[in-house]
Amino acid sequence: MWHRATGGKVVASAAFALFLGTAFPAAAQTLDQALAAAYMKNPNLNSQRAATRATDEYVPIALSGYRPQVFGSAYAGQQWTESRISVSNTIASGTVTNRSNLSPTGYGITIAQTIYDGLKTASSVRSAEAQVKGQRELLRNTEQTVLLDAATAYMNVLQNSALLELSKQNLQAFQEELRATNDRFAVGEVTRTDVAQAQASVASAESQLAEAEANLNTARATFYQVIGLQPVKLSPGKPIDNLLPRTQDLAISQGLSTHPAVKAAEFSVDAALQNVKVAEAALSPTLTLNGSAGQDYNNSSSVELSTSASIGLNLSVPIYQGGGEFASIRQSKELLGQQRIEVDVNRAQVRANVVQYWGALVAAKSAIQSAQASVAANEIALKGVREEWRVGQRTTLDVLQQTTDLFNARANLVVAQRDRVVASFALLSASGNLNSKSLGLKVNTYNPVVHYDQVRDAWFGVRTPDGQ
């Protein structure tokens, strides 16, 4: 029986070595390939890119306030009139009927150009530009989240694949123990209690195997959801310690200064400040230059054609508009205060995340060392307990318990390896530097500036540019 169990242990060790990175199959999917696929295909990231392109349009919308508004008009119709006039004089008296049938037509053009609007347009443009910059930071933050989710999904599949293989080998080991116990029970060396204990261990291992299969299926589904590919022959994942800040304080400093969530909040403050000025512009006078020209035909029986043109300045001074403008100013000031608070909130969150993931990375490294020592010690212990069981110095329960301890130690090492890789990605994300460029992914980097330049000064057109 010992030789058969040994063969099972060799298979388990091979699967375990695959997760740790000592071997991997040819033509395997790599972590970098999975991250590149997520960068290109993830729907959340693509949705945020579309939102960024939509935000770009706020700038030309605001710039339209500097440009003239031109309207053309035309009309055509039919007009019938009939009038009866009473006539009474020294010559004759009676009623005279006049009838006319006209076809009035005409066309014209009007132009309005705002000359002064209380700097509303200028403030709107600056607010829109701040929104664009903030949206770019939100896009960068979404990229971080997607890449972290992709790395986590990748490592979860590796982890659950290794745990499934360990669960299979653990069940095989317990089944071998049950067969050996039945053999010894048949010759009277052990009791029915020993057989029941072995049967219970097999049942527990079968339950663990079913749970491991379910966890792997869940991990594979999440992998496809985030990355857009089915996981096939995943190669081992490795931590990215070489990209991490050297100290926790440096990681915090980088996060506070460059994290996209912090930068986005700062740009939101800029936009909110300009929105206050936009609201205040409602109290300012407005000066507009207006011009019009047109021609009218057959407007009366005596006029066949008339041509008109006019130009003038229109000054509008608000005196009282119901009080809504004052409420808008107060509201925009409160929103500005809220955005300033949000900057502090995001900074505090970044600081907390860096401390959390720095600790998680240190803990994972320590857990790996402890788990490795535990695996080595439990392998030696199981071998000794089996030998002692053979000569009657150990019970069946001792062997079953030691087998379980070895399985748990191997599972803990698999989990610790996964946690170390994920923690390294999470720490880089917390410091604000997890992106395709820092990871060196082989992708066409999305540049939001391209689309912005395409639409910023567009005066007309309804077709959307590709943004690349």
- Measure the CA–CA gap between 130 and 152, rounded to whole angstroms: 33
- Measure the CA–CA gap between 433 and 118, rounded to whole angstroms: 42
Q: Which residues pair with 100 in a beta bridge?
A: 81
- Measure the CA–CA gap between 271 and 263, rounded to whole angstroms: 12
The predicted pLDDT at position 210 comes to: 96
Q: Which residues pair with 101 in a beta bridge?
A: 80
- Say which CATH superfamily domain 2-82+116-283+322-455 falls into: Outer membrane efflux proteins (OEP) (1.20.1600.10)
The predicted pLDDT at position 92 comes to: 61
The predicted pLDDT at position 24 comes to: 45
CB burial of 324-363 (b: ≥16 within 10 Å; e: otherwise) equals: ebeebbeebbebbeebbebbeebbeebbebbeebbebbee
Domain ranges of the chain: 2-82+116-283+322-455
Give the C-alpha distances (Å, rounded to integers) separating 177 from 13, 165, 166, 211, 442. Answer: 19, 18, 16, 22, 50
Q: Which residue has the tokens 């979404």?
A: 142
The predicted pLDDT at position 393 comes to: 82
CA angle 342, 121, 330 (to 5 degrees): 45
The predicted pLDDT at position 468 comes to: 57
Closest CA to 451 of 49, 23, 20, 43: 49
Q: Burial, 16: exposed, middle or buried (Cβ in 10 Å; 0-12, 13-18, 19+)?
A: buried
Query: For the chain, how many residues are written?
Result: 468
Give the C-alpha distances (Å, rounded to integers) separating 245 from 248, 258, 263, 418. Answer: 7, 13, 19, 20
- Measure the CA–CA gap between 65 and 286, rounded to whole angstroms: 12
- Measure the CA–CA gap between 69 and 119, rounded to whole angstroms: 18
Question: Who contacts 248 (Cβ-Cβ below 8 Å, separation ≥6)?
Answer: 354, 355, 358
Mean pLDDT by runs of 10 across the 468 residues of the chain is 36 43 58 95 95 95 94 90 74 71 90 94 96 97 97 96 94 90 86 90 93 96 94 92 94 95 97 96 94 88 84 93 93 96 96 96 95 94 88 84 91 95 96 95 93 91 76
User: Dmax of the chain from CA atoms?
Assistant: 155
The predicted pLDDT at position 299 comes to: 78
400 and 201 Cβ atoms separated by less than 8 Å: yes
Tokens standing for residue 318: 């608000």
418 and 384 Cβ atoms separated by less than 8 Å: no
Q: Burial, 279: exposed, middle or buried (Cβ in 10 Å; 0-12, 13-18, 19+)?
A: buried
The predicted pLDDT at position 461 comes to: 87
